[in-house]
């Protein structure tokens, strides 16, 4: 299966999961915007650290996707409470262009302390891998 694992976060928290997805699915792992554009991907995993609103670089990247570049986009969101809201608008934009947004958005709660940025735990990574495997095993468009 042709896939790509992309990430965007100021703290580097999304890269932890993105790198593991890249290793497991033997696909390119890169930050957004990627060095090379997506081309003919069955699924693009997008990890993003966000709080209520999709960061502009990620939104711009997603709005440039077409079915020739990516058939499916699967998001995982990293924030303080694991909420996955804030993707409705980009989901509509992707679907309008013919790119399927996987409805099962994975939320990862990562807590920051006063002096240290939080990072996903080993359990968070395992849960993200299980989520990704469920998507890969499903009937993707």
pLDDT digits (tens, 9 = 90+) for 103-114: 999 999 997 765
The rounded distance, in Å, linking the Cα atoms of 8 and 47 is 6
Kindly tell me if the per-residue pLDDT of 2 is higher than 90.
yes
3-state secondary structure of 78: strand
Q: What is the CATH number of the domain that holds 17?
A: 3.40.50.360
For the chain, how many structural domains are there in total? 1
In the numeric block, which tokens belong to residue 95? Answer: 């679907």
Mean pLDDT of 83-106: 95
Cα–Cα distances in angstroms (integers) from residue 127 to residues 24, 43, 76, in the given order: 13, 18, 11
Place of tokens 């303080």: 80
List the one residue out of 100, 5, 101, 107 whose CA is nearest residue 51.
107
Q: Which domain holds residue 104?
A: 3-137
pTM: predicted TM-score of the whole model, two decimal places: 0.94
Name the band, by pLDDT with cuts 50, 70 and 90, for residue 116.
low
β-partners of residue 13 are none
Query: Residue 31: how many CB atoms within 10 A of its CB?
Result: 16
pLDDT digits (tens, 9 = 90+) for 33-69: 999 999 999 999 999 999 888 999 999 999 999 999 9
- For CA atoms 115, 121, 127, 131, the dihedral sign is positive
The rounded distance, in Å, linking the Cα atoms of 102 and 1 is 16
pLDDT of residue 115: 63
Torsion of CA 22, 94, 38, 77, to 10 degrees: -30
Kindly tell me if the per-residue pLDDT of 96 is higher than 90.
yes
């Amino acid at each position: 299966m042709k896939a790509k694992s992309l990430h965007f976060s100021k703290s580097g928290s999304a890269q932890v999961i993105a790198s593991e997805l890249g290793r497991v699915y033997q696909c390119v792992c890169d930050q957004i915007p990627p060095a090379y554009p997506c081309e003919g991907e069955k699924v693009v995993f997008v990890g993003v650290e966000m709080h209520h609103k999709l960061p502009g670089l990620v939104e711009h990247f997603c709005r440039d996707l077409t079915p020739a570049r990516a058939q499916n986009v699967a998001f995982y969101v990293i924030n303080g409470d694991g909420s996955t809201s804030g993707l409705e608008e980009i989901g509509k934009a992707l679907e309008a262009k013919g790119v399927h947004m996987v409805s099962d958005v994975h939320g990862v709660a990562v807590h920051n302390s006063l002096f240290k940025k939080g990072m996903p735990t080993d359990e968070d990574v395992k849960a993200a891998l299980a989520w990704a495997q469920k998507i890969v095993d499903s009937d993707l468009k």
